[in-house]
Amino acid sequence: MSRSATTERSPRVSNGLWLLLLALAAGIGAYALVGLGKRGRVPPSIELYGSLIAAGFIGAWFVVRKVARRADPVLLPAAALLSALGFAVIWRLKPDLAVEQVTWLGVGLVAFVVTLVLVRDDRMLDAYTYTIGLAGLILLLLPIVPGLGRTINGARLWVAIGPISFQPAEFGKVLIVIFLASYLADKREMLAAGSGRFSLPRAKDLGPLMIAWATSLAVLFLEKDLGASLLYFAVFVVMLWIASGRPMFLIVGLGLFVVGAWIGYLALSHVQLRVDYWLNALNPDKVYQLGYGQLAQGWFGMASGGIVGTGLGLGSPILIPYAATDFIFAAIGEELGLLGTSALLLIYLALIGRSLRVAVERDDAFGKLLATGLTTIVAVQTFVIVGGVTRLIPLTGITLPFVSYGGSSLVANFVILALLIRVSAGPWYRKVTT
């Protein structure tokens, strides 16, 4: 890279720092407002937690500047704002969970830095296609292993090893995307072959799609997790569409999803119950039961927030069951109102939009597919949980990225963020080229 090109890139790095500082000020300011609304004073722990959060993200920014100078300047600040706001809302709901969340936030930032340092060029992952795919499949199905898996709230997603419990599928989905990016990049010419963009795929080309469909059904039946099943299948179909350039894969994929969802509904009482919650959440005869009451309280909370909300710390989101995990969007809606939730969705829109821009700007198929798949994970998770809370679709157990309480999810999301930043920055060696 010439010296003039390096100089041209430097303002982009500076803008990223100012955006990060603004995001941290807004997130830590939300924490202060929660204390003022809840107890009439700024939380005494704001110096400790505020310093830890600020130091963690500023340290991560310095690492990005050192090893990924050309990275997109919006990705890290957007994640910082979402994480800091999530911490503030979790502290408002359950202070003991907030202590755990800031600990996991630190672990996530360490994973972010380690990923950036170890993955000096995203294309190096392309050399381990089947090893990464096998590891991802193992992590995906690990919860069904007798003696390791744990069933919580009807879904078998957890693995317990001694005192440590985590959701291996959160990390498995990242490895699956890397595998799919490598595999589809290698097979894209074969997948694109056909008589036209809107012609039906050939029978042999439907093989990968059928395998993905069967895998998503296996997740649904063995782990009883509708959300994860939808996520994996949606990611694969989108990546297959991008690799082939054929919209018919989307149409066929949608048809397979409808068939799979119908089979799951007929065969699994857990899925039937989720649908019943969705359809009858405001039924007067059922509204005081836990599953129905969760959705009803979420709606009541968002309705009481109105346009501008009750104010941070001034509402009653603790009445919503599982508000810090599944229903944190409803808690935000109650205290920040329609304007607050709209702003939150705009932050996600900026994060997802800039990530898709990263995919568009890449010339190689692997980088394009990797960025697309990782972005689709964040986009589908956001849609599924927001759609579930607002009763657009049946509720699932997927977390709101970077905001909801949850260690496995938070750490996995920071790994996704690091990979997106690496894809946007290109190989590390470019930083020393003059």
What does the H/E/C string look like for the chain? CCHHHHHHHHHHHHHHHHHHHHHHHHHHHHHHHHHHHHHCCCCCCHHHHHHHHHHHHHHHHHHHHHHCCCCCCCHHHHHHHHHHHHHHHHHHHCHHHHHHHHHHHHHHHHHHHHHHHHCCCHHHHHHHHHHHHHHHHHHHHHHHCCCCEEEECCEEEEEEECCEEECHHHHHHHHHHHHHHHHHHHHHHHHHCCCCCCCCCCHHHHHHHHHHHHHHHHHHHHHCCHHHHHHHHHHHHHHHHHHHCCCHHHHHHHHHHHHHHHHHHHHCHHHHHHHHHHHCCCCCCCCCCHHHHHHHHHHHHHHHHCCCCCCCCCCCHHHCCCCCCCCHHHHHHHHHHHHHHHHHHHHHHHHHHHHHHHHHHCCCHHHHHHHHHHHHHHHHHHHHHHHHHCCCCCCCCCCCCCCCCCHHHHHHHHHHHHHHHHHHHCCHHHHHCC
| Residue 277 contacts residue 399 (beta carbons within 8 Å) | no
Distance of CA 129 to the CA centre of its chain: 23
CA distance 13 to 109: 19
Looking at the chain, the whole-number percentage of residues with pLDDT higher than 90 is 49
pLDDT score of 6 more than 80 = no
CA distance 361 to 426: 11
CA distance 328 to 335: 11
- Per-residue pLDDT, averaged over 330-345, amounts to 96
pLDDT score of 225 more than 90 = no
> Per the structure block, which two tokens stand in for 127?
């050399």
pLDDT score of 245 more than 90 = no
**44-48, 80-84, 226-230, 336-340: least confidently modelled range:** 226-230
Task: Pick the most confident of 136-150, 198-212, 400-414.
Answer: 400-414
pTM equals 0.90
- Per-residue pLDDT, averaged over 34-47, amounts to 91
Give the pLDDT band of residue 405 (cuts 50, 70, 90).
very high
- Per-residue pLDDT, averaged over 310-318, amounts to 92
> Per the structure block, which two tokens stand in for 352?
């997802």
pLDDT on residue 433 = 43
Per-residue HEC secondary structure of 234-252 comes to HHHHHHHHHHHCCCHHHHH
> Per the structure block, which two tokens stand in for 167?
């959701």
Give the pLDDT band of residue 434 (cuts 50, 70, 90).
very low
- The one-letter code for the residue type at 28 is I
Give the pLDDT band of residue 8 (cuts 50, 70, 90).
very low
pLDDT score of 238 more than 70 = yes
Give the pLDDT band of residue 350 (cuts 50, 70, 90).
very high
Which value, in Å, is the radius of gyration of the alpha carbons in the chain?
A: 22
pLDDT score of 428 more than 80 = no
pLDDT on residue 317 = 92
pLDDT on residue 10 = 43
Average pLDDT, the chain: 85
pLDDT in tens, 91-137: 999 999 999 999 999 999 999 999 999 999 999 999 898 898 888 88
Task: Pick the most confident of 226-235, 274-283, 410-419.
Answer: 410-419
